[in-house]
Amino acid sequence: MKKYLSISIVAAAMSVTTSALAADKLTFYCSAQEDWCQLMTQEFSAATGIKVNMTRKSSGETFAQIKAESANPKGDVWWGGTGDPHLQAAEEGLTEPYVSPMRGELQDWALRQASSASDKTIGIYSGALGYGYNEELLKKNNLPVPSCWKDLLKP
């Protein structure tokens, strides 16, 4: 995982706005897990010498903040979280296009997302957000309803 975060750090470093570079600080909105956000902040600062002001919020909260700030944007980079708010921000013109030199290392699904958003967002990781189950199949096989991820390992 650290390799992928390092790649993201380099990509983020290359996408920093001119105003952020001139000010030697970066306002970073992070919608991933807290430890990923902290690692990104530390590694980016170490690699560039740019001070990072990181705010960690969910994708929905960050989208709402970016939309509220649209007349006077405060953020430089929004990274992580679920794709739908990023796509909506792109559609509403709240984000700017960027094509990373590392683009070729991404999965086809991520490239399709970038293309559909005119390069205003790109998927960099994926993960399960939930699970579903077939009640009839469970009942037919006399299996309990799963109540957590662990239950799915040994039904």
Is 139 within a domain?
no
Q: Which residue has better confidence, 24 or 92?
A: 92
Confidence tier at 22 by pLDDT (50, 70, 90): low
Is 111 within a domain?
yes
Is 79 within a domain?
yes
Q: How far is Cα 133 from Cα 58, in angstroms, rounded to an integer?
A: 26
pLDDT of 127:
76
How much is the mean pLDDT over the chain? 85
pLDDT of 54:
97
Domain that holds residue 43: 2-116
The total number of structural domains in the chain stands at: 1
Q: Given CA atoms 67, 75, 90, 1 in this order, what sign does their dihedral have?
A: negative
pLDDT, tens digit, 9 for 90 and up, residues 43-53: 999 999 999 99
CATH number of the domain to which 48 belongs: 3.40.190.10
Q: C-alpha angle with apex 59: 29 to 48, nearest 5 degrees?
A: 25
Is 95 within a domain?
yes
Mean pLDDT, residues 84-89: 93
pTM of this structure: 0.70
